[in-house]
Amino acid sequence: MNKVYSDAKSALDGLLFDGMTLMSGGFGLCGIPENLIFALRDSGVKDLTVISNNCGVDDFGMGPLLQTRQIRKMISSYVGENAEFERQFLAGELELEFNPQGTLAERCRAGGAGIPAFFTRTGYGTVVAEGKETREFGGEWYVMETALRADLSIVKAWRGDRSGNLMYRQTAQNFNPMMASAGKVCVAEVEELVEIGQLDPDHIHTPSIYIDRIIQGAKYEKRIERLTTRPRE
């Protein structure tokens, strides 16, 4: 089975449809599948439900899909760096399902592991628990959270081989492994595509069984979401 595609556009061909649910790996601007995101924008697919830690900034990360109004709903944990996200949400133009960050990660992991729901103490007694089942275990109260699955997952890795085995680099691993496993189909982009057998099996983070298509990204920007420096003395 040939999983290697020449570019992001061809890798997404036949997988997109209006109203689909999409998982996108990354944390802010770290470890995001930027080539695939721009291909999504250019495809014109709309009414997306996007599961992503956040939307990055206005012109990078998932931000460009907000600018083109292709996103109908976000399932996220943090949205503080994107002014267009804030504007659309406050204007009632964008649906938002907020999650504590660890809960979002576990909902994705559970989806990939075939676990339909789980209980967590996080959020009990707050608005996060409204409308959800709660249960007592060992004298503590827990909130039931349901797993998340997606029609398509897009992820970014440092290195990958032609069969789809992936290695992430340091913190760029973030949400990518659990989202790779939770999509009905997963497309990965890598900075370096190598031949089968060149990756140390002990260093593979996402095995090829989860990856359906893979590309080597054309270029990458190493942006910083919010640059903070000390004032000059």
Cα–Cα distance for residue pair 29/223, rounded to 1 Å: 7
pLDDT at residue number 218: 85
The domain limits of the chain are 8-216
DSSP assigned state of 23: E
Phi (first) and psi of residue 65, to 5 degrees: -75, -25
Phi (first) and psi of residue 93, to 5 degrees: -95, -10
Q: Residue 158: which H helix or E strand, with range? A: strand 150-161
pLDDT per position as a tens digit, 138-183: 999 999 999 999 999 999 999 999 999 999 999 999 999 999 999 9
pLDDT at residue number 232: 77
CATH number of 8-216: 3.40.1080.10
Task: Give 78-97 as a DSSP string.
Answer: --TT-HHHHHHHHTT-SEEE
HSE-up of residue 38 (Cα within 13 Å, Cβ side): 12
Nearest-10 Cα torsion for 44, 179, 194, 205: 170
Q: What is the pLDDT along the chain (233 residues), one digit of tens a residue?
A: 799 999 999 999 999 999 999 999 999 899 999 999 999 999 999 999 999 998 888 889 899 999 999 999 999 998 777 889 989 999 999 999 999 999 999 999 999 999 999 999 999 999 999 999 999 999 999 999 999 999 999 999 999 999 999 999 999 999 999 999 999 999 999 999 999 999 999 999 999 999 999 999 988 888 777 778 888 77
Widest pairwise Cα distance in the chain: 60
DSSP assigned state of 166: E
pTM of this prediction exceeds 0.85: yes
